[in-house]
Amino acid sequence: MSTLDAKSLGGVPKLKGTENYDVWAMKAAQLLIREDFYDAIEPTDEDKADKSFSKKNRQARATIILTLDDAILEHAKRATTAKELWEPLKELFSLAGFSAHHLLLQGLVKTSLESHGSVTEFVEAVKRQGCQLKELDLTVPDWIFVSVLLHGLGDTYEVFVSSTIQSMRQKQPPAPNEVISQLLDEERRRTGTETGTALLAKKRDKTVQCSYCKGGGHTQNTCWRLHPDLRPKKGQKIGKGKDDSKKKDEGKTKRVLVAHGKQDALPTTWYLDLGASEHVTSLEAMFSQLSRAKSSIHLGDDSVKEIVGTGQVDFTFLLPNSQTQSVTFTGVKYVPTMRYNLLSVSRLLNESCRVIFKDNGCKVFHEDILLAIGQQEGNLFRLAIKQNHALVVQRPVKPLSITLWHQQLGHLGLDLVKKTAEQVTRMKLDEATESQLCIACVEGKQHREPSQRLMERATAKLELIHTDIGSPITPTSAEGAR
């Protein structure tokens, strides 16, 4: 005798309507088969003639009713048999025709990351909607699938969406699996443990508030709403009007508090840092103007690095909807030994900018103009910047010993190694190290002088005997000799 309880029905979801009918029908049918009730929804004349059919029919009807949501029970009141209950439910909630296409497409467009717990669940939901449409002979083109996927990510992945769209402006839309793979990598990067921690954070005073517009980060004297002529145009420099910091910085020691970011970041990656008190970069090629002015900075771990110069850097920030914003920052410090490129939040605030941090991201405004957006990485915020790939390869050059260069250049002579270093770029010799004796070169140049002594020839048999007292030679020669 079959017994059904709440645990037995646990695998069958409650039928709520069109949205879950397919899953419910499949699992409910399997439940009826398991309990030997399925004949009741597709009875034959022989089944109806069976004395036990009446009881099986009632049990099947009861089992189906137990798997219905309370809102659906109204459809079960008039059904006296399992078949009378099963078939109307199929007609009501099984998707077919235009209504099916409309509802599935509507569900596909409305699917969003916000309504799901993770990127993985969101991607699976979009793929599931696409599969259901395919079952109805309506295949969603790849470009529509990718567009729906990117649109559903929302503001949380604004930087990722902007970068993806920007990268394929001149190309064919990528395959959905390629975008999904990149998206899942981005999720793992965000949820994973980032390398490095903040060394020291500088506490600042409360944000200055304008008495005219009640906005933060500026005063009434610099308010653009009160003084429209002060509003900078697109591409206008942000910072000092003249790069005259050379005299001020000469011979001074600055205190710059920075945090650590990801160690595998590109050398052209820029971070917005709450702890940094200066804009800093390690790439000389990024400067559009550079004035040499030696000074030094102190990091949060008490290490000291040398400032080689100060200048201006031109940026092209990536914004939502494939837009860009050109901005020039002045007063940027050139520190060749720095690992990261940093834009200081405190400097931005001093330059009448406004920075908003929200949902693991940030936005930089100059009054009402959006300058840049960024995404959190550890204790820093990576800015979305249009990369100049010609600069990516320009990592700081580390001097190497002349012995190592000698080995890397195929054991080139030391004089030629020095001459090569003078004629090419990005090849530096460590003057502090001396050349060492190269054993490989010594062994490779060894040779045996030819023997000039004439051998005496034998004049009679067995007068001169040559004997091989060694064991057989391994390996065997090409002719088979040993």
**163-214 residue pLDDT tens:** 677 666 556 667 788 888 888 877 776 665 333 322 223 333 344 566 667 6
Q: Indicate whether 390 pLDDT > 70.
A: no
User: What pLDDT shows up at residue 373?
Assistant: 92
Nearest of 240, 239, 257 to residue 201 by alpha carbon: 257
Task: Report the C-alpha gap between 181 and 174 in whole angstroms.
Answer: 11
Residue 411 or residue 159, greater confidence = 411
- Range scoring the smallest mean pLDDT among 272-281, 282-291, 432-441, 446-455: 446-455
User: Mean of the pLDDT values across residues 261-276?
Assistant: 69
Residue 85 in tokens: 């209950």
User: What pLDDT shows up at residue 259?
Assistant: 47
User: What pLDDT shows up at residue 233?
Assistant: 53
Q: Indicate whether 364 pLDDT > 60.
A: yes
- The model's confidence at residue 97, banded by pLDDT at 50, 70 and 90, is low
3-state SS string for the chain:
CCCCCCCCCCCCCCECCHHHHHHHHHHHHHHHHHCCCHHHCCCCHHHHHCCCHHHHHHHHHHHHHHCECHHHHHHHCCCCCHHHHHHHHHHHHCCCHHHHHHHHHHHHHHCCHHHCCCHHHHHHHHHHHHHHHHHCCCCCCHHHHHHHHHHCCCHHHHHHHHHHHHHCCCCCCCCHHHHHHHHHHHHHHHHCCCCCCECCCCCCCCCCECCCCCCECCCHHHCCCCCHHHCCCCCCEECCCCCCHHHHHCCCEEECCCECCCCCCCCCCEEEECCCCCCEECCHHHEEEEEEEEEEEECCCCCEEEEEEEEEEEEEEECCCCCEEEEEEEEEEECCCCCCEEEEHHHHHHCCCEEEEECCEEEEEECCEEEEEEEEECCEEEECECCCHHHHCCCCCCCECHHHHHHHCCCCCHHHHHHHHHHCCCCCECCCCCCCCCHHHHHHHCCCCCCCCCCCCCCCCCCCCCCCCCCCCCCCCCCCCC
**313-359 residue pLDDT tens:** 888 899 888 888 888 888 999 988 887 788 888 888 888 888 888 87
Q: Indicate whether 476 pLDDT > 70.
A: yes
User: What pLDDT shows up at residue 221?
Assistant: 56
User: Mean of the pLDDT values across residues 236-260?
Assistant: 47
